[in-house]
């Protein structure tokens, strides 16, 4: 994958607002999105900054930066700008990249819209079902002529013929803008396989298993977890990896494996979406409460791991300004929302469709009135256990 080390200057018409209203200090946004956005930036968990812009720049220089939103980036008319005044909408795309896979043979298995209201005191995660039927527009960089496919496949079509991960992200962002009406201030491609090292740096996370499920990806060999193919090559006896109901600390491999499961769960991919949202929040809470943020050495180590797990786009706003401008969003203020009432809403082709309530939720995001929408429709809030 080709990446750039300098900030790109996307061709977007931006406005220059005056700034963000100051609020009381709490755990910063990056503590909540430690690896989701890669905005990890040496900020103490309730006491202010450790270092400042220079140190933040230094510790985030290994994060790959690309233009991931393309034509779906916010314009001036839509409230986009060179500073962080107003609501912030980010597109998070989760992939499961492994070395044997070609750069263009990849789909976005996790699609999350992150919405931060203009008050900058809350964050919402909304998962878009991977199998949602979408109309994908033509995309010249990958020579794709357009078509009706699953949302997860839009990334694939954008990555073809040299489009790469940036092309996949841009086409998915454009597709989602057409579907939801939402334009994006930035985006991140998250390699879930790369989360392992980050979770390890955090010392594991606490996850709550709400329904027992057996892993479809891993087996135990002599008590050691291994991917299926590797386990079978050993020729030894294997045991299933079973995630049992209850809240407990999990090692890196266990948390990631649980968040990957969808077969055998009551609501299939909807439950997986919720579990992946939980994992993101669990990582953020661990970073905010585990002494990571107040320890420059430990925080720097987490940053290095995060940088290997993602590609980031913060528009025309540099990473330090992006982080410092959103420092008032606390980890516990992350609200997990579900589409389609958390159950399959399919058509005759076996693909997901978007319900009227979900369409109304997307409109509320675009118009920055999501808080009121959630009060009026409490059923969209996901159960975190």
| CB 10 within 8 Å of CB 316 | yes
Per-residue pLDDT, averaged over 42-71, amounts to: 60
Residue 23 is assigned to a structural domain of this protein: no
With a cut of 60, say whether residue 239 has pLDDT above it: yes
Task: Give the residue carrying structure tokens 């755990």.
Answer: 27
Say what the pLDDT of residue 280 is: 79
- Tell whether 259 is covered by a domain: no
Q: Residue 90 falls within a domain, yes or no?
A: yes
Q: Which of 196, 200, 193, 187 is nearest to 64 (CA)?
A: 187
Domain holding 157: CATH number? 3.40.630.190
Residue 286 lies in a domain: no
The predicted pLDDT at position 148 comes to 95
List the single range of 58-67, 182-191, 278-287 with lowest mean pLDDT.
58-67
- Domain of residue 198, residue span: 29-207+291-380
Can you tell me the distance from the alpha carbon of 114 to that of 379, in angstroms, rounded to the nearest whole number?
Answer: 19
Q: What is the pLDDT of residues 27-45, one digit of tens each?
A: 333 333 333 333 333 222 2
Number of folded domains in the chain?
1
Of 186 and 285, the one with more pLDDT: 186
- Whether 51 is in a domain gets the answer yes
d(CA 74, CA 245): 42
Q: What pLDDT does residue 37 have?
A: 39
Structural domain includes residue 265:
no
In a domain, 247, yes or no: no
Position 329 confidence tier, pLDDT thresholds 50, 70, 90: low
213: tokens are 């499920």
163 belongs to a structural domain: yes
Q: Mind listing the pLDDT tens digit for each residue in 94-118?
A: 887 654 455 667 788 889 898 989 9
Of the segments 71-80, 98-107, 308-317, which one has the largest average pLDDT value? Answer: 71-80
SS3 category, 257: helix
* Model confidence, pTM: 0.77
pLDDT band at 54 (very low <50, low <70, confident <90, very high): low
């Amino acid at each position: 994958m080709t990446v750039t080390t300098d900030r790109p200057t996307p061709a977007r018409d931006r406005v220059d607002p005056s700034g963000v209203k100051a609020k009381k200090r709490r755990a910063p946004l990056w503590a909540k999105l430690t690896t989701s956005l890669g905005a990890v930036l040496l900020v103490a968990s309730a006491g202010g900054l450790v270092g400042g812009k220079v140190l933040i720049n230094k510790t985030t220089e290994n994060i790959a930066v690309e233009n991931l939103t393309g034509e779906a980036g916010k314009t001036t008319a839509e409230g986009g700008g060179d500073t962080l005044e107003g609501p912030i909408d980010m597109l998070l795309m989760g992939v499961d990249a492994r070395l044997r896979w070609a750069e263009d043979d990849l789909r976005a298995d996790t699609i999350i819209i992150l919405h931060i209201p203009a008050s900058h005191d809350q964050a919402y995660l909304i998962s878009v079902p991977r199998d949602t039927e979408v109309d994908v527009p033509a995309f010249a960089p990958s020579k794709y002529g357009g078509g009706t496919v699953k949302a997860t496949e839009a990334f694939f079509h954008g990555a073809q013929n040299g489009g790469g991960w940036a092309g996949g992200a841009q086409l998915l962002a454009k597709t989602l803008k057409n579907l939801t009406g939402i334009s994006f201030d930035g985006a991140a491609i998250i390699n879930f396989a790369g989360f392992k090292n980050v979770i390890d740096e955090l010392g594991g996370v606490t996850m709550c298993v709400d329904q027992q499920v057996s892993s479809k990806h891993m087996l135990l060999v002599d008590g050691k977890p291994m991917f299926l193919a590797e386990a079978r090559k050993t020729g030894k006896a294997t045991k299933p990896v079973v995630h049992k109901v209850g809240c407990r600390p999990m090692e890196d491999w266990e948390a990631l494996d649980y968040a990957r499961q969808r077969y055998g769960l009551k609501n299939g991919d909807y439950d997986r979406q919720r579990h992946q949202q939980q994992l993101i929040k669990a990582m953020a809470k661990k970073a905010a409460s585990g002494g990571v943020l107040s320890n420059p050495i430990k925080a720097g180590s987490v940053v290095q791991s995060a940088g290997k797990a993602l590609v980031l786009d913060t528009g025309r706003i540099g990473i330090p300004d992006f982080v410092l401008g959103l420092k008032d969003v606390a980890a516990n203020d992350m609200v997990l929302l579900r589409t389609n009432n958390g159950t399959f809403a399919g058509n005759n082709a076996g693909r997901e469709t978007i319900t009227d309530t979900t369409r109304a939720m997307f409109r509320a995001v675009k118009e920055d009135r999501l808080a009121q929408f959630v009060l009026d429709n409490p059923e969209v809030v996901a159960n975190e256990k």
